[in-house]
Amino acid sequence: MKNRFAGPLGLVFLLSLILGAALLTGCSGGKKKVSDAGNTVPALRIGAMSSMDYLPFVVALEQGVYDSLGLKLEIVPFFSANDRDAALMAEQIDGTVTDYTGAMMQHAGGLPVKMVMKLNGLFSMMTAPGKDINSLAELKGKQIAVSNNTVIHYVTSQMLEQAGLMPQDIEIVDINKIPLRLEMLSAGQIDATLLPDPFATMGTSLHCVRIADTRGTGKINCTGLIFDEKAIAGKTESIRLLLEGYNRGVDFLRTHDNEAVKDLLNRYVKIPEALVPEVLRPEYEYAALPQTEDLHAAAKWLKERKLLPADYQPQNLIDGRFF
């Protein structure tokens, strides 16, 4: 009998099924706890899509750090940004891992959210097998797939600009779904696309070529953690403990390789175990506020595309009380 998961496109389809199944369960640690100060702190529920930027939270959760701090944390997985954002609006989660562009548009649209810290997201520019494209500059005249007006589109634009390419130098193709972009890339139907993990690592297994990533190309910072303002006001101590645990997770990741977190990469980021050695990790930093220049760069791009009001001030998105 023919294996319907055989071949590169089958692998992408299988990964999509695995990620979709993650919607059915959330991950939490411990029962209701008491903080070091002896006070009961409210539990937190944060949303996240499979990515590398929230791995320090995962490490702290799975190693019992949050139990020791007296915080009950649940990480709620999402496969769709729309579902994640709807859950935040409905107050089904307190906060979520997101990106600067999406958070600004939500904030400007009246959603009562604030960003409390930046995260270390990682995106990789991947080129199709056999295209012999080995640098960003060589993308001139090529087709690059993006999800229009999203963080993928923004980071792609920033990368190309840093490489000296203008918008008219490349052909943008709007393909919203990440699995479909990877399928088309591996089949050579597009020349390049920007991918987060687990899709970037899956791409390397399909002979796609990673020519650049956001760690080395001007270090593009574009992801962070937002909370509903009601949660910030009512769960201030819980969020403080969340960030403390994050820093302990960073400590662990700085001193341990991928093998030490193989199970977490598989369960949370959905990296197949065989591909764990190939995973690129962000340069994890301790919890900190987003840098002003990064916020203004994202806001400028959005305003140029008429996605933000001209008078929008990105610093109003930030709540700095935890630093």
Tens-place pLDDT, residues 298-317: 999 999 999 999 999 999 99
Query: Who's near 291: CB < 8 A, 6+ residues apart?
Result: 118, 221
- Mean of all residue pLDDT scores within the chain: 90
Tens digit of each residue's pLDDT (9 = 90 or more) over 98-119: 999 999 999 999 999 999 999 9
Domains of the chain are: 16-121+221-317 (3.40.190.10), 123-213 (3.40.190.10)
Task: List the one residue out of 59, 45, 63 whose CA is nearest residue 265.
Answer: 59
Position 233 confidence tier, pLDDT thresholds 50, 70, 90: very high
Q: What is the structure's pLDDT at 39?
A: 53
| Model pTM score | 0.88
More confident: 79 or 98: 98
Position 26 confidence tier, pLDDT thresholds 50, 70, 90: low
Mean pLDDT of 186-208: 95
Residue 35: pLDDT over 60: no
Q: What is the structure's pLDDT at 3?
A: 44
* Helix ranges, 197-261 (H): 199-205, 229-234, 236-255
Q: What is the 8-class DSSP label of residue 34? A: B
The answer to whether the Cα torsion of 202, 206, 207, 208 is positive or negative is negative
Mean pLDDT of 145-149: 96
